[in-house]
């Protein structure tokens, strides 16, 4: 029976297994290999990356990301992971923060950090931020300074309120919220200010815009995510990690003589006669394979995690905790034009269902039903917290976003649209609403040799790339492995 109990002991010389080849799983595998452990990484799909992956579009033949991901140098664990896996050359980091803003009926506006000491590098740009009037700029600065002063209190007490409530208490004007707070918070946390927890919103701002010089500079991968993760996998394999794609894990086997009273209590029955603690000793794979292990890190969504543990544990904490989380979607519309319509690497759109426009340089064209020439410009039109489009037809969504694109970027009207591909990740990130922290378990579990990872677990960070890496490394430490 998948996930059952056995009389086998955990093999002392068995490999450590990581279930799930997303960013959290890759980070866990790298940490285990760095600690000198034998490691096997199991991913049920052909592609690595989980929610940060790529696919070959059958229509155009291009290798497409399922979403555009951007981070900042304040994401220190992510940066360290990328450096340790040797893909730093595939990361583009702005020399200093620069964002161009577009809005219907208004001239383009640029927010650019100055080559001045902190905080003056951003103070003066905010004082002249074109989308706002002088009084609104002053209100924005008051809000930022208030957040800087009261940040520690908000971090410790803000879990029970929304960031919108905090902004209302600071009397932030609607236009300031529309042009700064809302686009920044939605982009980072995939939720609007009226929904997201105040403590995580504060953390996102305190570690970026209100931190040291350069901490808010934007960074992104210069190649499709799948190409990057394939290269990471190659580095891991050179370090002895066995990367097994197309391997579906169906259960976790526990040692019966070690499962004793804790398993009995969680199963709602009598304590085991032998006492002791349960231990993960093997993985049960599709096709009947049994893989003995020294330890297991699961780096999969909460629903998948519950299916792996024995039935008596599925309704116990921490395995049931994640079921209390709700999820927020992200939409990406890939479009191709026969000629360039912008020279900016990305654009932020204000007060529009279309939020960001990214130029996808470095993509790889290939054979498809409707081949696109390499000379075409490929754009990714991004909508975070895309709930309004759930249940709406692809054609209607595509038409609306293209209309918005032409409204803010007139060059699109004179270019020929070659193709479109819509990607809607309906469970992209967990919703960090007030009260959600109770549903984010730690990486430690009551089962010896089993820990859990994922940006949805308790990392102290929101559902970001940084949170995913931190969770993977914390899960390795939860197994008692020294990663220093």
Name the more confident of 484 and 279: 279
CB neighbourhood size of 291 (10 A): 18
Strand, helix or coil for residue 54: strand
Are the C-beta atoms of 23 and 29 separated by less than 8 Å? no
Task: Give 131-170 pLDDT, tens digit per residue.
Answer: 999 999 999 999 999 999 999 999 999 999 999 999 999 9
User: How far apart, in Å, do the first and last CA atoms of the chain sit?
Assistant: 38
Confidence of residue 119 (pLDDT cuts 50, 70, 90): confident
* Percentage of the chain lying above the pLDDT 70 cut: 92
**Mean pLDDT, rounded, for 169-192:** 97
Among 14-23, 247-256, 266-275, 472-481, the range scoring the smallest mean pLDDT is 266-275
Q: Using CA atoms, how far apart are residues 30 and 87, in angstroms rounded to an integer?
A: 13
Q: What strands, in cross-sheet order, belong to the sheet with 70-71?
A: 70-71, 219-221, 91-93
Q: Using CA atoms, how far apart are residues 443 and 107, in angstroms rounded to an integer?
A: 48
Q: How is residue 279 annotated by DSSP? A: B
Name the more confident of 119 and 70: 70
Strand, helix or coil for residue 61: coil
Q: Tokens in use for 290?
A: 């049994």
Confidence of residue 258 (pLDDT cuts 50, 70, 90): very low
**DSSP letters spanning 236-274:** HHHTT-EEEET--EEEEEEEHHHHHHHHHHHTTSPPPSS
> Angle at CA 387, nearest 5°, toward 382 and 391?
105
Q: What does pTM read for this prediction?
A: 0.92
Q: pLDDT value at position 265?
A: 41
Task: Give 192-220 pLDDT, tens digit per residue.
Answer: 999 999 999 999 999 999 998 899 999 99
Q: Using CA atoms, how far apart are residues 80 and 72, in angstroms rounded to an integer?
A: 13
Residue 484: pLDDT over 50: yes
Which domains are present in the chain?
5-55+227-325+434-478 (3.50.50.60), 114-206 (no CATH), 327-430 (3.90.660.10)
Q: pLDDT value at position 274?
A: 42
**Cis status, amide bond into 318, omega within 30 of 0:** yes
Give the side-chain half-sphere CA count within 13 A for 85.
28
Task: Give 421-472 pLDDT, tens digit per residue.
Answer: 999 999 999 999 999 999 999 999 999 999 999 999 999 999 999 999 999 9
């Amino acid at each position: 029976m998948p996930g059952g109990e056995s009389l086998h002991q955990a093999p002392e010389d068995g490999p450590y297994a990581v279930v799930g080849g997303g960013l959290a799983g890759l980070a866990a595998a790298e940490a285990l290999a760095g600690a000198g452990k034998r490691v096997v990484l199991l991913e049920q799909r052909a592609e690595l990356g989980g929610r940060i992956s790529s696919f070959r579009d059958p229509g155009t033949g291009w290798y497409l990301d399922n979403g555009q991901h951007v981070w900042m140098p304040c994401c220190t664990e992510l940066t360290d992971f990328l450096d340790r896996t040797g893909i730093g050359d595939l990361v583009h980091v702005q020399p200093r923060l620069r964002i161009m803003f577009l809005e219907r009926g208004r001239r383009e506006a640029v927010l650019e950090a100055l080559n001045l000491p902190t905080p003056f590098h951003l103070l003066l740009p905010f004082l002249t931020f074109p989308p706002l009037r002088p009084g609104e700029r002053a209100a924005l600065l008051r809000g930022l300074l208030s957040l800087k002063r009261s940040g520690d209190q908000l971090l410790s007490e803000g879990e029970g309120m929304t960031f919108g409530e905090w902004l209302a208490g600071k009397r932030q004007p609607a236009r300031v919220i529309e042009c700064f707070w809302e686009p920044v918070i939605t982009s980072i946390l995939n939720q609007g200010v009226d929904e997201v927890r105040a403590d995580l919103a504060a953390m996102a701002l305190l570690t970026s815009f209100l931190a040291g010089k350069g901490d808010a500079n934007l960074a992104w991968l210069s190649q499709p995510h799948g190409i990057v993760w394939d290269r990471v996998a190659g580095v891991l394999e050179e370090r002895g990690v066995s990367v097994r794609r197309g391997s579906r894990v169906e259960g976790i086997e526990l040692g019966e003589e070690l499962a004793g009273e804790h398993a009995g209590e969680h199963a709602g029955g009598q304590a085991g006669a032998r006492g002791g603690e349960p231990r993960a000793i093997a993985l049960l794979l599709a096709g009947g394979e049994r893989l003995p292990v020294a330890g297991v890190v699961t780096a999969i969504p909460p629903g998948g995690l519950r299916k792996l543990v024995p039935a008596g544990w599925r309704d116990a904490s921490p395995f049931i905790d994640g079921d209390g989380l709700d999820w927020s979607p992200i939409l990406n519309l890939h479009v191709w034009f026969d000629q360039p319509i912008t020279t900016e690497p990305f654009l932020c759109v204000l007060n529009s269902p279309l939020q960001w426009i990214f130029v996808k340089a470095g993509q790889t064209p290939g054979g498809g039903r409707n081949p696109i020439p390499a000379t075409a410009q490929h754009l990714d039109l991004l909508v975070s917290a895309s709930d309004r489009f759930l249940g709406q037809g692809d054609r209607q969504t595509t038409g609306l976003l293209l209309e918005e694109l032409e409204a803010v970027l007139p060059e699109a009207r004179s270019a020929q649209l070659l193709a479109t591909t819509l990607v809607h990740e309906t469970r992209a990130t967990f919703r960090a609403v007030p009260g959600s922290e109770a549903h984010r378990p730690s990486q430690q579990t009551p089962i010896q040799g089993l820990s859990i990872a994922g940006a949805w677990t308790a990392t102290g960070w929101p559902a970001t790339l940084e949170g995913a890496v931190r969770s993977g490394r914390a899960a390795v430490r939860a197994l008692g492995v020294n990663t220093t």
